[in-house]
Structure 1
Amino acid sequence: MSQVRAAIVGATGYGGAETIRLLLAHPHVAITSVVSSSNAGASIAEGFPHLNGILTDKLDAVDVDLLKEKADVVFLATPHGISSELSPKLLDAGLKVIDISGDFRLKNGEDYEQWYKHKPADPAYIDKAVYGLSEVFGDDVKGTDFVSNPGCYPTATALGLAPLAAHRWIDPKSIIVDAKSGVSGAGRGLSLTVHYSEMNENFLAYKVNKHQHTPEIEQTISRLAGEEAVITFTTHLVPMTRGILSTIYVNLKEARSEDEIFALFRSYYEGRRFVRILEKGKFPATKQVLGSNYCDIGLSLDSRTGRLTVISVIDNVVKGAAGQAIQNLNLMMGWDEGTGLAFSPVYP
């Protein structure tokens, strides 16, 4: 099998660097271009010394003609507002595109403008983009040329809700999500919030009722449930580098036993190797998925209140970004979805 040539645009951010790390181990992919608009001409290893002697390529500038010459597929790990301009040009040049930014996730351009504070992409390309929540919409990804990779919080949260929403077992207006993330989710840029002395030994809520991932989660759950979903979504920053833990509270439409709920989740995710449903009474921790493409889910039904608690954990940089992007590449190309990702989490 000839190798697919891959370019990573935004290679000097955490998502781009993680995409590089994972693609270096992929048997069917060769990295042929690493791109940074701000550091063109420098070695990738200057900014990421862990790549010394492994990948020493000079960073290319953003140039569609050059990418057309050097690559078959382009991963866009760019800040929001850039992919909306770049993706159409790459697609029109005949390249496959996997967008790790948020520019094409929301099908309603007005929602994007409201929550992301950027001008939305061309509606024709928004319609063309396939939302790549791999375990849920993987069949849509197969054979497409353009994937919008889900956000980190939406991945953890939607995977925790998908079986329930798809089978119409829950009230989609009763969902409360209490989510926590490590600081890598804020990106590599400098800010006071993620300064060591500000974040160390600290724990804080942020973007309360204003987080840009809110409409993405609502869009996915509404699509699955067949009716409008409205969620209360509160995010928190914790003093660790990687990981998301999403605690989800939801009301059932009718009485169900805990055994029924566990059976539903196991059936829904049967054959999907990267979602692991824990045994009854067990709940996941971020450490058990560190550095991996796994999503671990624990469940508890409160018979006193009738509410269900779902706890879902992922590594935000892997399953919440680069790992799922590569999983989507595998689906696009018709490869086994675990190719290049079948490694265990890092522990301890």
Structure 2
Amino acid sequence: MLATEQNKVKVAIVGSTGYGGVELIRFLLGHPLVEIASVISSSSAGEPITVGFPHLSNILVNSLDGVDVAEIKSKADVVFTATPAGVSGKLAPQLLEAGLKVIDLSGDFRLKEGAVYEQWYKREAPAAGLLEQAVYGLCEINGEKVRGVELISNPGCYPTATLLGLIPALQEGWIDPDSIIIDAKSGVSGAGRGTNLTTHYAEINENLKAYKLNKHQHIPEIEQALAAASGKPVTVTFTTHLVPMTRGIMSTMYARLTGTRSEQELIDLYRNYYEGRPFVRIREAGKYPATKEVYGSNYCDIGFAADPRTGRLTIVSVIDNVVKGAAGQAIQNLNLMMGWDETTGLTLSPVYP
């Protein structure tokens, strides 16, 4: 049945002037079952969104709203909260109380233990009941769990690339969970739209920087999901780098194999694991993905190199951090939440070159 304007699901986007919010708008404008009812920014309320983003001159809801729960409730059914950490933890309870469904793109509901959240995010955790209620929306792993729920926590960008690359081999027992090392690199859009010295052009151009060594807030998120997959605690070494490009994450992971495995065996394992999940694409033996090959899309591409000399496995996983790592996966979660085909509105091919 074709959707009409009357039966489309109406959505609001809180944080519409960040990169994640703007990417939500780009994809949702082409979603056949969704109407964008409100675009919200606490810092730019009352301004046309085209002041900051002239490329959105075709958006039907142009004027940015302020954050008013009653007004949001009058317009929308589902709210995407694309806010900095700490904001959603306070706003989401009000939205849920008003009867709205919430898909949160911040890190506020990803960790199940409040004490762990406070240790890594350096702020007060949301209420324990909400942390328990929130479903971690890594779609290819937890897709069935998000159907019909009220609160989805959208995974982080680094964890998405990393977990999709590691979980099948870990669950099968093919890699030693105590041996995992993750070397991850991201384009500067992952740092958000705000300006600072780290992302200043003269600082990042022709440069490669490691940052937040052993302190990145995505470490406990990755370890929590890997522990759930393996059935026991997992500790990883996780190092992040900024590279002088706009979009893209490459997560290169190293782990000790528990037995002798060929690359073809790994390919077969992963293709079987992700069968029916069209946004994960597994490369042929000897072929490794590049960030340009998923640019602007909701795909995660994965390749493998098994080394019989060292007994180690190398996994290369790439995503677009703004799409599969944020807005695209949030829309995939919306589709699953509403019982729609998970690819609805997301079938854009990567932009190349």
TM range (shorter): over 0.9
Among candidates 102, 116, 119, match of residue 114 of structure 1: 119
In the aligned structure 2, how far is the partner of 1:157 from the partner of 1:86?
A: 29
- Which one-letter code corresponds to 2:345 in the other structure? G
Task: Between 40-49 and 315-324, report the one with greater CA deviation.
Answer: 40-49
**1:259 counterpart residue number:** 264
What is the TM-score with the length of structure 2 in the denominator?
0.97
- Which one-letter code corresponds to 1:83 in the other structure? S
Secondary structure at 2:240 match in 1: strand
In the aligned structure 2, how far is the partner of 1:53 from the partner of 1:136?
A: 35
Q: Pairwise mapping of residues 146-161 of structure 1 onto structure 2 (< 5 A)? A: 146-161=151-166
Q: Pairwise mapping of residues 3-152 of structure 1 onto structure 2 (< 5 A)? A: 3-55=8-60, 57-152=62-157
In the aligned structure 1, how far is the partner of 2:58 from the partner of 2:223?
A: 44
**1:326 counterpart residue number:** 331
In the aligned structure 1, how far is the partner of 2:347 from the partner of 2:240?
A: 30
Q: Deviations for 1:36-67, whole angstroms, at most 9, x for unmatched residues?
A: 11111001111111112334521111011011
Contact 1:45 1:55 survives alignment (8 Å):
no
- Which one-letter code corresponds to 1:89 in the other structure? Q
Shift of 1:92: 1.1
**2:302 counterpart residue number:** 297
Secondary structure at 1:193 match in 2: helix
**1:168 counterpart residue number:** 173
**2:232 counterpart residue number:** 227
Q: Deviations for 1:227-275, whole angstroms, at most 9, x for unmatched residues?
A: 1111000000000000000000011223323222111111001111000
**2:342 counterpart residue number:** 337
Contact 1:44 1:55 survives alignment (8 Å):
no
In the aligned structure 2, how far is the partner of 1:239 from the partner of 1:66?
A: 41
Contact 1:36 1:62 survives alignment (8 Å):
yes
In the aligned structure 1, how far is the partner of 2:209 from the partner of 2:113?
A: 31
Report sequence identity in percent: 66
Q: Deviations for 1:185-244, whole angstroms, at most 9, x for unmatched residues?
A: 000011001011111111110001111101100011110011111100000000000000
Q: Does 1:197 align with 2:202?
A: yes
Shift of 1:315: 0.1
In the aligned structure 1, how far is the partner of 2:178 from the partner of 2:169?
A: 13
Contact 2:20 2:82 survives alignment (8 Å):
yes
Shift of 1:342: 0.7
Structure 1 segments unaligned to the other structure (5+ residues): none
Contact 2:38 2:61 survives alignment (8 Å):
no
In the aligned structure 1, how far is the partner of 2:174 from the partner of 2:208?
A: 34
In the aligned structure 2, how far is the partner of 1:166 from the partner of 1:316?
A: 25
- Which one-letter code corresponds to 2:185 in the other structure? K
- Which one-letter code corresponds to 1:250 in the other structure? A
In the aligned structure 2, how far is the partner of 1:300 from the partner of 1:55?
A: 48
In the aligned structure 1, how far is the partner of 2:222 from the partner of 2:115?
A: 16
Q: Deviations for 1:73-120, whole angstroms, at most 9, x for unmatched residues?
A: 000000000100111111111101000000000011111111111110
**1:180 counterpart residue number:** 185
In the aligned structure 1, how far is the partner of 2:249 from the partner of 2:8?
A: 33
Q: Pairwise mapping of residues 238-257 of structure 1 onto structure 2 (< 5 A)? A: 238-257=243-262
Structure 2 segments unaligned to the other structure (5+ residues): none
Runs of 4+ with >3 A deviation: 53-56
